[in-house]
Amino acid sequence: MTRVAVIDSGVANVGSVVYALERLGVTPEVTADAGAIRAADRVILPGVGAAAPAMARLRQVGLDAVLRTLTQPLLGICLGMQLLFERSDEGDVECLGLLPGRVQRLVPGADARIPHMGWNALHDVRDVPLLDGIADGAQAYFVHGYAVPPGECALAACTHGVAFAAVVGQGRRFGAQFHPERSAAVGARLLRNFIENAS
């Protein structure tokens, strides 16, 4: 059975992520223990709130160093995805540097309120194992005010005023800007693909 660690970083409500995994028949270990995280087959980094306090918390408990040395598949969710990148304009903070790029504030407009909250369509969905069974136009649930512009590691995009990366991946490091645990069948499929097919 696949061992899944959900990182208890102190800056996330992990309950909904755990419940989503349990609906898939997976009982994850919620932990901040470096040994347990390194021993897992899959690691999930959820996050809510702001980048600066989140990175401060990871550094305080030494998890920034742990995350940088993981060799198994890692999935960041929402803020957890943003922390995988080099830097965030939210607090002008250095992040984990596991993926190339900078997190930028979304720009408000007449038809784009910030934060971006609610259902939105995925587009430019790549044919990769993480997105198996998820089609262009599939709807996912977003709650965020910052995002990463589509770049070399974007596996799917979304548009809210401007285009941004909705799903990213490079090597064994992946991220979803949307909340899979709140995205019904699309979110469940992404989580199942991560657990069963990410390599």
Q: Tell me the β-bridge partners of 105.
A: 146
Catalytic residues: 78, 179, 181
Q: In what order do the strands lie in the sheet with 102-105?
A: 93-94, 87-88, 102-105, 146-147
Q: How far apart are CA 199 and CA 196, in angstroms?
A: 9
Q: What are phi and psi of 109, to 5 degrees?
A: -150, 180
The pairing of beta strand 93-94 with beta strand 146-147 = unpaired
Tokens at residue 79, please?
């803020």
State the DSSP H helix or E strand holding residue 55, giving kind and residue range, or none if neither. Answer: helix 51-60
Decide if 78 contacts 11 (C-beta within 8 A): no
Q: What are phi and psi of 194, to 5 degrees?
A: -60, -45
What number of residues does the chain have?
199
153: left (phi over 0), alpha (psi -120 to 50) or beta: alpha
Residue type present at position 124: D
